Amino acid sequence: MSDDKPVKQILVAGVGNAWLQDDAFGGEVARRLEAEGVPDGVTVMDFGTGGLDLAYELIRGYDALLLLDASRQGGEPGTLYVMEPDRAEFSGELKDGENIDPHDMNPMTVLRFVSAVGGWPGRVMVVACEPGEIAEPGFGLTPPVAAAVDVAASFVRQTIGELQTDAAYTA
């Protein structure tokens, strides 16, 4: 890549609780991507349940965020979903006296906080997996969710390639 064009900065963020089986999906995909290596300009991090850490990282400034998480949408366990939230859903100032609990920063709260402080990345995409088991403590993904990790990692790699182009940021 030539020096006259800056490299797009992309954050791939795994979130979820590794102690709650399939809730660890995001972290597993992040670890897979990190182990395989990523292109220049791409940062891969497993934030676990550290939503406040994710918010602070986003404020550093990224062209795009790929958020990896488990999400109940009503499908069969292992079903993958791709969502692109609109910034308007998260816009608006925090009201006087309104609290954001730093100990309960789920991904939607993180995006709302980041939007309120002006740190919204150019593109935000959520790659989510329908979990099987997230209520009972335990380690390891259930088989359908474990099988979805490779598919999700492949999709994220393809999406990174697209997000590295200027065309990904035009309306």
Q: Does residue 4 lie in a domain region? A: no
For 118, the domain range is 10-169
CA angle 137, 56, 25 (to 5 degrees): 30
Q: Does residue 2 lie in a domain region? A: no
Q: What CATH number is associated with residue 25?
A: 3.40.50.1450
Residue-wise pLDDT for 20-62, tens only, equals 999 999 999 999 999 999 999 999 999 988 777 888 888 888 9
Residue-wise pLDDT for 60-94, tens only, equals 889 999 999 999 999 999 999 999 987 777 665 65
Q: What is the pLDDT of residue 92?
A: 59
- What is the residue-averaged pLDDT of the chain? 86
Q: What is the pLDDT of residue 87?
A: 72
Q: How many domains does the chain have?
A: 1
The whole-model pTM stands at: 0.86
Inform me whether the pLDDT recorded for 119 exceeds 80.
no
- Write the DSSP string, 81-129: EEE---GGGG-SPPPTT----TT---HHHHHHHHHHTT---SEEEEEEE
